[in-house]
Structure 1
Amino acid sequence: MRKIFLFCSTMVLAFSLNAQKLDQKIDSLILSEFKESDGPGGVFMVAQKGKPVYQKAFGMANLELDAKLNINSVFQIGSMTKQFTAIAILMLEEQGKLKVSDPISKYIPSYPNGNNITIHHLLTHTSGIKDFTKMKTIADIAQKEMTPEEMVNFFKNEPVDFAPGEKFDYNNSGYVVLGYIIELTSGETYEDFIRKNIFDKIGMTNSYYATDRKIIKNRAYGYHKKSYGYVNKTVINFSVPFASGSLMSTLDNMLKWQNALNKNLLLNSKNEMKAFTKYKLNNGKEIEYGYGWHLKSINGTATREHGGSVFGFKSMAVYIPSEDIYVLGFSNCDCNSPTQLVKDIAKLSLENLKVK
């Protein structure tokens, strides 16, 4: 009995020391990039089997008020919004309100070439439609309140970049169209649909459709860095990025999101796997993208990844299904990208937390 006790005590001590070493290694990685304790910073989390094993905040949430970031700070997540848009589309498909194989002309009859562009093309960035963020006239509407229909009209008549299904080219316009289709088929605003059917359902109580007007507790403010110092982020009306990049969240809430996906709380497993399937172009070439996630790998181990970038903020997350490891990082200055950092932390976590 005493031998068993000593063995268990030794195992607990070894695990504790290993976790401490991992913490130190992650700290070292982050501090090599986020060096200014009195400047904008970031928050980071590593979770395994649904629970955090590392979470820390670095730097300031508000430079004017001298307020520090904390692990509950609310960040704009940019294009990580696309995960929610994609799952919402699959939820509507499960409800029988649409099919991903449907042409978008079924919902937006006036859309040019809409008979040949499907919802699937929009989800996989293979539609060929013009990305509105690359249009010079974007500055004309960036601060205007736009309806989803007005946003679609803004880019729909632009020359296409390629025929549907011909190639993969990351595209924000496609997800704006998806948001409009969500509204048309559900009879609700995109904001309300996401809140009622996802945020409220799984307890994401600190997640929002972004707003600069509403009082949001623990809000992290966004910054740009100039040669003379930091400045407040450029103002954008969130109706412009819309379903392609207008959500806000926290580390804890994003872990709830990942856990809900793992437990199939929003979709049955068959339909949910559509989001995590690599699809093919017209020529049979496979792309490393599903619906709302990049599908890549770390040293041969499959990952699901996505980042985000919106004025003043950057985000990145990597999920490793085989080990149930989730790594997440948010930054409140677009001068500090967590993208490679989160990938490096994911690699480090895989090496240290992998189930033997």
Structure 2
Amino acid sequence: AGVLNSATGVEATVDSVFQIGSVTKVLTATLVMGLVAEGLVELDAPVGRYLPGFREVTVRQLLCHTAGFAGDVFTDTGKGDDCLERYVELLADVPQIFEPGEMFSYNNAGYCVLGRIVEVVRGEPFDRCMRDQVFTPLGMTHAASDPYEAILHRVAVGHLGGRPVPAWAGARSNAPAGSMLAMTPRDLLAFARAHLADEGLRAMREPQVVLPDIGWGTAWGLGWTRYDLPGGPVFGHDGNTIGQSAVLRVDPGRDVCVAVFTNGGDRKRLMKEILGRVVELPAEPVPDPAAGPDTWRCAGVYVSNTSETTVSADERGRLWLDRVPLGLAVELGDEPYRTELLGWRGDSLLPAEPGHGPVAFLGDDGEGRARYLHTGRADVRVAGRTEA
């Protein structure tokens, strides 16, 4: 089972508490859908109805990551109960990348806004709403909404490069997106089982937006990722914090749920190995030699808050991607890498280097070049830098 902390040697047990990272988003979405069920929130209402002055996006667009504004905003606005309110105020200066509803682009900040809606409508801080509306009703006795609760349990510490990380949690203002929640696998499975048992929550699994071919699934629902597979649809979410990872998968057709948590090591290999024994997994993508990349369309520099990526062609016409992580991505352990891009499915290309998922070149800058490099988030082309 391994250890919770390599510095202390404390062993992991079934009662050990791990951070769940962005799997939190499904719990946050569940809080929002509770408000919808009570008639307190409407999915297609503008967010400004609940948070006056907020930009023109809807609650549904926040839930399915189509709101279109820059979403990797990890500003720490303190530990007070007003931290989410202050965080949302800062988003007024965040750029709008594309029109709301145009496409999917993973948006952490959007889920923080959803958390603030929960606070305003319920009249209580987000973490208290999570405990009262989710943890307590479902008997999640080893679930923690912050480090002060987590330390009361047998808690895991994240590891990078085999060493314990210096910080356990992120900012409280990012809690609805995944910076704080921790629990045992058993607790998360209690949550997943509740979703299978509650017909009222089925709507959360209905597809809202089709995903580009980037290896993330088929579509996104209201919080859930959807994987349409030969054996039937599977739903889930992944989460990463500093040195910890979690995955949750739900197969309604077989009435099966599985959760895997790690706090270091080769997390991708381990999770794939365990998940593959329980649920159907998507087939591994294979390059298509006949689908050569369009170097003119793809070459350029693309940026976001968490990376700068240069795509360039060499003298033989091969396409190369050089990616440099920025900000929180560095803290999470991402490292710079260079890889050749191989043809796969139209505008979606495969990195030749193992361990990296497909990328998609979407949109048009008006000159026939892609406007976005999509890796789950839509990184924007820097005008005037073609790198061809």
TM-score between the two structures when normalised by the length of structure 2: 0.65
Tell me the CA shift for residue 76 of structure 1: 0.7
1:296 is aligned, of 217, 221, 227, to 227
Counterpart of 1:316 in structure 2 is 247
Tell me the CA shift for residue 302 of structure 1: 0.9
**Aligned residue runs from structure 1 range 206-245, under 5 A:** 206-211=142-147, 215-225=151-161, 229-234=162-167, 236-245=169-178
**Aligned residue runs from structure 1 range 238-257, under 5 A:** 238-245=171-178, 246-257=180-191
Asked if the contact 1:208–1:248 (Cα under 8 Å) also holds between the matched residues in 2, the reply is yes
SS for the counterpart of 2:173 is coil
CA 1:247 to 1:103, structure 2 compared with 1: closer, same or farther past 3 Å? same
CA 1:195 to 1:215, structure 2 compared with 1: closer, same or farther past 3 Å? same
Tell me the CA shift for residue 238 of structure 1: 3.5
Counterpart of 1:106 in structure 2 is 49
Asked if the contact 2:71–2:108 (Cα under 8 Å) also holds between the matched residues in 1, the reply is yes
Tell me the CA shift for residue 350 of structure 1: 4.4
d(CA) in 2 for partners of 1:238 and 1:148?
10
SS for the counterpart of 1:308 is strand
Counterpart of 1:155 in structure 2 is 91
Tell me the CA shift for residue 347 of structure 1: 3.4
SS for the counterpart of 2:240 is strand
Question: Where in structure 1 are there 5+ consecutive unaligned residues?
Answer: 1-57, 352-356
SS for the counterpart of 2:112 is helix
d(CA) in 2 for partners of 1:188 and 1:81?
18
1:97 is aligned, of 40, 61, 70, to 40
Counterpart of 1:336 in structure 2 is 266
Amino acid at match of 2:43: V
d(CA) in 1 for partners of 2:256 and 2:137?
23
CA 1:322 to 1:172, structure 2 compared with 1: closer, same or farther past 3 Å? same
**Aligned residue runs from structure 1 range 50-61, under 5 A:** 58-61=1-4
2:208 is aligned, of 266, 279, 285, to 279
2:71 is aligned, of 109, 119, 131, to 131
CA 1:127 to 1:346, structure 2 compared with 1: closer, same or farther past 3 Å? same
Tell me the CA shift for residue 256 of structure 1: 1.1
Asked if the contact 1:314–1:336 (Cα under 8 Å) also holds between the matched residues in 2, the reply is no
SS for the counterpart of 2:42 is coil
SS for the counterpart of 1:164 is coil
Counterpart of 1:173 in structure 2 is 109
d(CA) in 1 for partners of 2:143 and 2:41?
26
d(CA) in 1 for partners of 2:102 and 2:94?
18
Asked if the contact 2:77–2:87 (Cα under 8 Å) also holds between the matched residues in 1, the reply is no
CA 1:299 to 1:337, structure 2 compared with 1: closer, same or farther past 3 Å? farther
Counterpart of 1:204 in structure 2 is 140
Counterpart of 2:277 in structure 1 is 348
Tell me the CA shift for residue 157 of structure 1: 1.6
Tell me the CA shift for residue 319 of structure 1: 1.2
Deviations 1:213-257, CA, capped at 9 Å, x for gaps: 7632211112221xxx51324354431322010211111111211
**Aligned residue runs from structure 1 range 59-70, under 5 A:** 59-70=2-13
Report the structure, 1 or 2, having the larger strand content. Answer: 2
Tell me the CA shift for residue 79 of structure 1: 0.3
- 204-213 or 76-85: bigger deviation: 204-213
d(CA) in 2 for partners of 1:253 and 1:85?
15
d(CA) in 1 for partners of 2:109 and 2:22?
12
**Aligned residue runs from structure 1 range 10-49, under 5 A:** none
Tell me the CA shift for residue 82 of structure 1: 0.5
Note the aligned Cα RMSD (angstroms).
2.2
Asked if the contact 1:327–1:345 (Cα under 8 Å) also holds between the matched residues in 2, the reply is no
SS for the counterpart of 2:61 is helix
Tell me the CA shift for residue 209 of structure 1: 0.6
d(CA) in 2 for partners of 1:279 and 1:79?
19
Asked if the contact 2:103–2:209 (Cα under 8 Å) also holds between the matched residues in 1, the reply is no
Tell me the CA shift for residue 306 of structure 1: 0.6
Asked if the contact 2:142–2:184 (Cα under 8 Å) also holds between the matched residues in 1, the reply is yes
SS for the counterpart of 2:259 is strand
d(CA) in 1 for partners of 2:168 and 2:151?
17
Residues 1:86 and 2:17 are matched in the alignment: no
Asked if the contact 1:276–1:304 (Cα under 8 Å) also holds between the matched residues in 2, the reply is yes
Asked if the contact 2:157–2:168 (Cα under 8 Å) also holds between the matched residues in 1, the reply is no
Asked if the contact 1:222–1:312 (Cα under 8 Å) also holds between the matched residues in 2, the reply is yes
